[in-house]
Chain A
Amino acid sequence: MKINVKKVIINVILKTILGMLALVILIPIIWLIFSAFKEEADIISWPPTFFPKEFVFSNWEGVKSKIDIIQYTVNSMIYALGTSIPAVFLNALAGYAFSRFNFKFKNVIFIGYLATLMIPFQVIMVPLYLEIHALGWLNSYAALIVPKIASASWIFLCRAAFDGLPKELEEAARIDGCSEIRIFSNIMLPLIKPTCITIFILTVNGCWNDMLWPMLVANSSSMRTLANGLAILIGTHTTEYGSSFMGALFSMLPMLILYIFGQKYFIEGQAHSGIKG
């Protein structure tokens, strides 16, 4: 009996600590959400409030009058979807080849792919920028999208997923006279759907929140993405906090919804994809 009481007490203390840690994570996010609906006077009042005195939507008008948020959102969507859809298909294609085919120099080539994982983006950003500049791609969607499609870590993830499938599947299709690309796209790719969703979701999230690359190559007023457009909003209008909060909330909302419905894939992908700043 004595041991049980001790156990219960320890458990309660532990749960309290873990719960408090969860609050530390949550409070800033919830506070941001509430603050987006506060009046400016409410925001700058002292003592600061957690809940809005009254819910107002005027901050949305504030955002719209300062930056072209609709255009930036469209740009972010094009960047996110334009990157993630080909990323799923092309990385899976390579992962499939490394998993199912035997060809000359396979291992050497695969190690070459993996070696690219060791190259930190921040280290090559200067020559990459100059390359985009030389190609004449500055301030185009291609500049944002094309360099971000291929990823050795996704190829690696797809290869592992295909490794788990039985060999007989494509043998049967091959005997039926299916072309290799059809075997891939119609039979094999659908079988690793969870992996595809993981890649899709994490690529969308990565592009949506990416600030540095759009800042370098898509900085004209009509090409900005939401993340770097907001950076400009806080840079130039530091005195009006309400619209900054609303802008931040607006940019966070799609990812929040994605997280609520696709949490499993976020976690799955994060456990496998390596090196992020």
Chain B
Amino acid sequence: MQLKRMTSYWNKPEHVAYLFIAPTGILLFVFCIIPLVASFFLSTMKVGVNLGLGEFIGLDNYVKAFTDRRFIDSLRVTIKFSVIETFLQMVIGIAVSAFIANNSFFNRMVRSIYFLPVITSAVTVGIMWQMILHPSIGLFTYWMEKIGLNNVALLNNPDTALYTLMGISIWRNFGISAIILVAAIQNVPKDYYEAAELDGAGKIKQFFAITLPEIKSSIWYLLISRVIGSLQVFDIVYTLTNGGPNNSTRTTVFYIYGEAFSKNNNMGYASAMSEILFGMIMIVIIVLQHIERKTSD
């Protein structure tokens, strides 16, 4: 009897809903919210892998971070990567998407090719591009030599390594941006273009007067998610340059990873740096959304 009453209570839509959201709710709480909160506490501690041995040191980790030459340099590398990579990728993505929006056979084919690198892992990207750009046996090096550029070693030169990473990152990701924008362009009502056609507006004018304003929200969405993604760049750094040469590609997450996991398990300090990065990401999101709202009025 008791059991039956219980099952009928929990079978009511307004009650069963809690059971339905509980599994994911618990998982997100335990593996997302708790770590976020824990991160704040860890950032005020001097602590290794063993939490019991931690000691409270207030804001010392933050002070240390802002006086740590290597951390500041890593921020500079990360911001440079993020700004240039995002900008170029958006420009290429927008330009390409405008030309491949029609569902012709050719367009569908190039679209699925542009999107293909989504299946590559960072390790595959690492092996592939390290070898193509290899200074003594690389295919790209050979082609450069053929057009008269000797001793090209893009990944081994501190002046070019970061830009090379940007290029590889764009190679890997611009297809995603292009596809998302193609979907947005296809949603623009056809009669807008017909009306413009009647007014005698050319294709280029139509693009700037109709397409661009109509897909603005998708562009903003992409911009924000690309900035967030690129500020956390880690895996291609790990597989392509390992932070080198000469620390020219040591990004913030790469530096955090090193402090926490590969050397001295400086978990407190790593958390403080993570918090600073998190703060930066939040500020970027808020500023970009503010600009978006301002410009859409």
Q: Which residues of A contact B (CB under 8 A)?
A: 14-15, 18-19, 21-22, 24-26, 28-29, 31-32, 35, 43-48, 50, 90-91, 93-94, 96-98, 100-104, 106, 109, 113, 116, 118-131, 133-134, 146-147, 149-150, 152, 155, 179-181, 184, 205, 208-212, 216, 227-228, 230-231, 234, 241, 244-245, 247-248, 251-252, 255-256, 258-259, 263, 266-267, 270-271, 274-277
| Residue among A32, A43, A228 facing the most chain B CB atoms (10 A cut-off) | A32
Given A97-B21, A123-B39, A205:B132 Cβ within 8 A: no
Minimum Cβ distance to chain B for residue A83 (Å): 11
> Which of chain A's residues have a CB closer than 8 A to the CB of B225?
274-276
- Would you call B42 and A241 a contact (CB within 8 A)? no
Given A126-B270, A231-B238, A119:B123 Cβ within 8 A: no
Which residue in B14, B25, B256 is a CB contact (below 8 Å) of A94? B25
> Which of chain A's residues have a CB closer than 8 A to the CB of B51?
130, 134
Minimum Cβ distance to chain A for residue B273 (Å): 9
- Would you call B235 and A277 a contact (CB within 8 A)? yes
> Which of chain A's residues have a CB closer than 8 A to the CB of B217?
none
Report B159-193 residues with CB < 8 Å from chain A CB.
Answer: 171, 175-176, 179-180, 183
A-B contacts, 10 of them at CB < 8 A, read: A32-B124, A46-B137, A102-B13, A103-B13, A109-B21, A123-B36, A210-B121, A211-B123, A212-B234, A231-B239
Minimum Cβ distance to chain A for residue B55 (Å): 16
Which residue in B31, B132, B142, B235 is a CB contact (below 8 Å) of A46? B142
A sample of 12 more A-B contacts (CB under 8 A), given A94-B23, A103-B14, A131-B30, is A32-B127, A93-B20, A120-B281, A123-B39, A124-B32, A131-B35, A146-B27, A205-B118, A212-B234, A227-B121, A230-B123, A231-B239
Which residue in A98, A104, A208, A256 is a CB contact (below 8 Å) of B21? A98
Residue of B nearest to A149 (CB): B27
CA–CA, A38 to B197, complex, Å?
Answer: 55
Minimum Cβ distance to chain A for residue B256 (Å): 7
Minimum Cβ distance to chain B for residue A49 (Å): 9
In the complex, how many residues of chain B place their beta carbon closer than 8 angstroms to a beta carbon of chain A? 90
Minimum Cβ distance to chain A for residue B52 (Å): 10
Which residue in A93, A116, A123, A208 is a CB contact (below 8 Å) of B274? A123
- Would you call B24 and A130 a contact (CB within 8 A)? no
Given A22-B114, A252-B121, A93:B23 Cβ within 8 A: yes
- Would you call B232 and A113 a contact (CB within 8 A)? no
CA–CA, A142 to B33, complex, Å?
Answer: 19
Contact with A along B107-149 (1 / 0, CB 8 A): 0011011111111111110111111100011110010000000
Which residue in A28, A44, A126, A180 is a CB contact (below 8 Å) of B271? A126
- Would you call A50 and B139 a contact (CB within 8 A)? yes
- Would you call B235 and A212 a contact (CB within 8 A)? yes
Minimum Cβ distance to chain B for residue A172 (Å): 15
CA–CA, A106 to B15, complex, Å?
Answer: 12
> Which of chain A's residues have a CB closer than 8 A to the CB of B79?
none
| In the complex, B201 has a CB within 8 A of chain A | no
Given A94-B20, A231-B123, A271-B179, A26:B116 Cβ within 8 A: yes
Which residue in A94, A131, A255 is a CB contact (below 8 Å) of B24? A94
| In the complex, B212 has a CB within 8 A of chain A | no
CA–CA, A109 to B26, complex, Å?
Answer: 12
Residue of B nearest to A234 (CB): B127
| In the complex, B253 has a CB within 8 A of chain A | yes
CA–CA, A102 to B93, complex, Å?
Answer: 41
